[in-house]
Copies of this chain bind each other. A is one copy, B any other.
């Protein structure tokens, strides 16, 4: 059976994001997948990249360099236990689903902190092993999120610009950089401004998509996809 990690960032289980997460757990489990959820707010996940991420002594305590110190700590097995735990989940997963409400054209800080802290050099990438040869190759990722603005506001020429513009840092700059292939994003536009019925349709559409997810081809993660 395939393994899926859902990294989930919403404060409220009753939210649409909470429901989308539950739908994914149910549907994927029904398919025989083994599903793990990192519920970041419930875990009170630490978003700040600090010295506390390294257990024991630093290589250079005179001038703290987060990137270098975490890379070395990873090699020694001296990353903080919350990071080791998340890395294990990533390592085992065939598919990473990120479920969140769009905050400021990006993911909420608590999820950005997961990226900043978990995807350590040596674990997720290590020059020249980045992009197509990133260390997490053979995995898939899918960004599933809700927006405040409507679909029309996120079109080319509209005020927010094409929604794909804002996917570049997340899909290309993070996931593709680590070698992860990216499936089409799943976007629920403006759920707060639609009817309860429409919101139910959003949940059904997500369940429906998940049924054939494993047949999907990854997107071509090149500038053309984003900015054509």
Contact = CB atoms under 8 A, between A and B. Distances in A.
A66 B11 contact: yes
Contact of A166 (B66, B112, B173): B173
Given A41-B50, A104-B119, A160 B173 contact: yes
Given A11-B64, A104-B115, A148-B67, A168 B173 contact: no
Contacts of A116: 103-104, 108-109
Interface in A124-166: 131, 148, 156-157, 159-161, 165-166
A11 B109 contact: no
A65 interface: yes
Contacts of A106: 106, 112, 169, 173
Contact of A49 (B11, B105, B177): B11
Nearest to A167: B169
Nearest to A173: B105
Contact of A168 (B14, B15, B161): B161
Contacts of A119: 104
Interface in A163-182: 165-166, 168-170, 172-174, 177
A119 B160 CA distance: 17
A103 B170 CA distance: 11
A122 interface: no
A82 interface: no
B169 A47 contact: no
B108 A165 contact: no
Given A109-B48, A165-B227, A173 B104 contact: yes
Interface in A37-64: 41, 44, 47-51, 62-64
Contacts of A14: 62-63
Nearest to A168: B165
The 3 closest A-B pairs by CB, nearest first: A105-B173, A109-B113, A105-B169
Interface string A173-195: 11001000000000000000000
Contact of A64 (B12, B47, B103): B12
Nearest to A175: B104
